[in-house]
Structure 1
Amino acid sequence: MLDKYGTGQDPYCYPSTNVLRNLLNITNDDDLNEAERVLSEIAAGEIEFDLPPYDLQYLQRIHRKLFTDVYEWAGELRTVDISKGGTHFCNLARIEAESQKYFRNLASADWFEPLGRAELVLAVAELFGDLNVIHPFREGNGRAQRILFEHIIINAGYEIDWWVVQEGEWMQANIDAVVCDYTALACIFDRCIGQSIAG
């Protein structure tokens, strides 16, 4: 039986299912998704903004906080290669090296702090798309990454609000970014990024 990422029988899942092994012992995928959503939303409210540096370890801490009540491996890098639909995510052997490359670029850009709003929209769209292709965790990548980007954008001096975006838009925009088409992600960030906090 194929798991939801199309990798065959997944060691992260209960045998002969596509349900991820979890600390709640839930064996129904819909029930697990709901429990995961509720618990991660509660946990997200407890994650405090922090100043740079932002790096893979920072993202891992966010993921651990979000999913520590659901998955034993919360915050740990995945140990299997995964794909979803026609998208193949970063080979697991390259996760750390590729992540470090993007975070080094972010540091070199002074965490996007010098950018005006229009430049920031384009910069975060590209970085978001590139980091999404890495998909360092077995599940929960999008939620962890959005919190990371909240911190990046707030640190750069702007408000951020994700509620104006539908899930389907996110998915398609990230699919487009796999082939370096960041247009849809830029449109999303243009809607999500608000006014200057200082203004």
Structure 2
Amino acid sequence: MVLENKLGLTTSSDLAREEEKISKKKALELFEQDLLRDKPPGLFSALAFIHTHLFEDIYPFAGEIRTVNLAKGNFRFAPTMYLRAALEHIDTMPQTTFDAIIDKYVEMNVAHPFREGNGRAGRLWLDHLLKHQLGQVVDWSKIDKEDYLLAMERSPIRSIEIKYLIQHALTTAVDNRQIYIKGLDASYHYEGYFTYKTEEL
């Protein structure tokens, strides 16, 4: 199934290729124009801004809370009927320590607020939060892609793995363009690693 898109593309391979190219270009705009400087770190509003900017030229639902239930494998993300309440709760979660920040990141992943593109937007949101609170960001080149995806899949039950991976990849090079863009690599995307199951409401 190919998601409705503004590009008029009808094959998943074409959409994935154009989506990665466009979203990386838009992510660089966020970085080079410092568009997140006045966005509150750790809040859903910042994540929605990031998602809108990355995908507004691709998807009509960019930045909008999803209206379908999503699952990957046997794991179901937050049901739509509870999604707004979940996001309000995440906004209030503490974010002053590394452990608290990653707990918040895990909860946002469980919420999975958008129909597509949660992984990319979420990693930029995490870096914005880490940069603001700890003066660090993640050097994604130091994290094995499969280890990351498996750790994220298990994180709602056991977050120690994802905390270990991220903590050992932190860097103070917060203004490094190459480090910033690495988190957008397609091979980190849940979207390309698992098959979504959807339930239209």
Q: Same fold (TM over 0.5)?
A: yes
CA contact (8 A) 1:78 1:92 kept: yes
The one of 37, 46, 57 aligned to 2:20: 37
The one of 65, 81, 85 aligned to 1:77: 65
CA contact (8 A) 1:89 1:134 kept: yes
Q: How big is the shift at 1:93?
A: 1.3
Count the aligned residue pairs: 168
One-letter amino acid of the counterpart of residue 194, structure 1: T
Moved over 6 A (4+): none
One-letter amino acid of the counterpart of residue 80, structure 2: L
Unaligned ranges ≥5, structure 1: 1-17
Task: Give the equivalent residue in structure 1 for 2:155.
Answer: 177
CA distance in structure 1 between the partners assigned to 2:172 and 2:10 by the alignment: 44
Kindly, what percent of the aligned residue pairs are identical? Answer: 29
- Deviations, residues 137-196 of structure 1 (Å, cap 9, x unaligned): 0100011111111110000132212222233222211111122x0011111211222249
Name the SS of the counterpart of 1:156 in structure 2: helix
CA distance in structure 1 between the partners assigned to 2:156 and 2:42 by the alignment: 22
Task: Give the equivalent residue in structure 1 for 2:4.
Answer: 21
CA contact (8 A) 1:159 1:193 kept: yes
CA contact (8 A) 2:49 2:63 kept: yes
Task: Give the equivalent residue in structure 2 for 1:15.
Answer: none
Which segment is superposed worse, 76-85 or 159-168? 159-168
Task: Give the equivalent residue in structure 2 for 1:12.
Answer: none
CA distance in structure 1 between the partners assigned to 2:132 and 2:173 by the alignment: 11
Larger Cα Rg: Structure 1 or Structure 2? Answer: 1
Structure showing greater relative contact order (alpha-carbon pairs closer than 8 Å, 6 or more residues apart): 2
Task: Give the equivalent residue in structure 2 for 1:56.
Answer: 44
One-letter amino acid of the counterpart of residue 128, structure 2: H
The one of 166, 171, 187 aligned to 2:144: 166
Unaligned ranges ≥5, structure 2: 175-201
Task: Give the equivalent residue in structure 2 for 1:67.
Answer: 55
